[in-house]
Amino acid sequence: MKSYKVTKGVNFATERKKLETELTSEMLRGGTWKDTAFKPYNFKADGVANTGGHCHPLLLVREQFREIFLQMGFEEMPTSRYVESSFWNFDALF
């Protein structure tokens, strides 16, 4: 048979005290933030999963054209420029 001994801890209180979650401008002006207990932040908590959203239609068309050109044998050039010279846009293609 097990027995347990229960004693009052350091944080024992007869009433529950709600911890504050936000620091307001009134607390700053009045100085009450010094005596207020705040709820600790949980920086490791996952956010709400995104359940909606779609790609823009023009981005879908651009991806389809990209796939077509890659299937035809073209290769992507490692560049971050969006505008190329006329040589790459016309002469090199023919």
pLDDT tens across 1-39, in order? 899 998 999 888 888 888 999 999 999 999 999 989 899
CA distances from 61 to 16, 58, 66 (A): 58, 5, 9
In a domain, 34, yes or no: yes
Q: The pTM is what?
A: 0.36
In a domain, 62, yes or no: no
In a domain, 76, yes or no: no
In a domain, 20, yes or no: yes
Q: Is 20 exposed, middle or buried (0-12, 13-18, 19+ CB in 10 A)?
A: middle
pLDDT at 54 over 80: yes
How does residue 69 score in pLDDT terms, banded at 50, 70 and 90?
A: very high
**Residue 19's CB: how many other CB atoms inside 10 A?**
10
Instruction: Report the domain count for the chain.
Output: 1
pLDDT at 68 over 90: yes
How does residue 88 score in pLDDT terms, banded at 50, 70 and 90?
A: confident
SS3 20: strand
CA distance 91 to 65: 20
Structure tokens at 30: 């009045």
In a domain, 22, yes or no: yes
